[in-house]
Structure 1
Amino acid sequence: FMTLSLLGVSLPTFVIGILLILVFSVTLGWFPSFGRGEVVQMGWWSSGLLTAKGWHHITLPAVTLAIFQLTLIMRLVRAEMLEVLRTDYIKFARARGLSDRTIHFGHALKNTLVPVMTITGLQLGGLIAFAIITETVFQWPGMGLLFIQAVTFADIPVMAAYLCLIALIFVVINLVVDLLYFAVDPRLRVGKAGGH
């Protein structure tokens, strides 16, 4: 299991995408290797996510983007859990006779979530910003293609708008992560209630 997660973290996204295309599109023929599928017009907006073909076409790009993120988060959760399980309050909970399930999910996992949420928030922003490579591998016409064309033709307003949008997405994701800290970490709620 750890070998697979190490492999997922170490392989670049474009290599994962090409391997998935080779296995699931070329060899097995289960998924299409490129394109968006059928597109549905809804006023000024067109989307392929509202059709079965669209979901069929988005499966491989979504898995490609998710493999690196999931393996990184798995390794981080494991490392944090091992660290938290060595703390004194976990030893005290074991001495009280609590079950391993209660200790792991009721006590230890909550304390591992703060650093995991921080890294996950940063990774979500990076996922959106660097999906350009995945869009290129799967020939998916999206914002990544728009940005590459803007760089190719030195279209400064489009590049500036793209970078401002990515910056806004990073700020919103970090704000949501900071607000989630209050829901997860009781020490922050106690500090706020005490006026500290």
Structure 2
Amino acid sequence: MRVRRLPTLALAVLALALPAGCARSADDAPAAPAPVPATASAATAEGETATAAPAALPDACGLVTAAEAEKLAGTPLDDAVPVRDTCSYTAPVDGPTAQVEVYVGDGAEKYLGIERDLGHEVRPLSGVGDEAHLTAEAFFVRKARVWVAVRLVRLNDPEENRAPLEGLARVVADRF
């Protein structure tokens, strides 16, 4: 199990270390960015239009409710902790080990790529979103260009988690 926690630990250490390297003095402050013309979305040339801004990503904590996370984990969980395009539900320290993590956007797609690169079994899920996959501990759903991943951490036989993960994948796909 320690091997699975290593990426999460490494990301946490990296997240804490990055702000220290980003400090600037007042002399280093960048100039204000140039204003974007109000007509940026209008036609830029005959037959051409500017690229539209991507749609807002769905709220990670809104995709999996606390009750759904607890049902998936099989134990009570603490309140959701949102960070950027992620949301984590973690078991209390005095309870069994369990965590449900929700990733939205590029991070979810990257997570799927890492699972494949590591040679983990990635099964397709038919009839879910535009594309969906299931691993021993997570599911990945794509609708249009948006990816969502939900990862379950438990100290049990991962085979016990496949059906609940697949069921939740179908629910989450309908929410965004």
**TM norm structure 1:** 0.22
The structure carrying a bigger strand percent of its residues is 2
The structure carrying a bigger helix percent of its residues is 1
Quick check: which has more Rg, 1 or 2? 1
Report which structure shows greater RCO (CA 8 Å, sep ≥6): 1
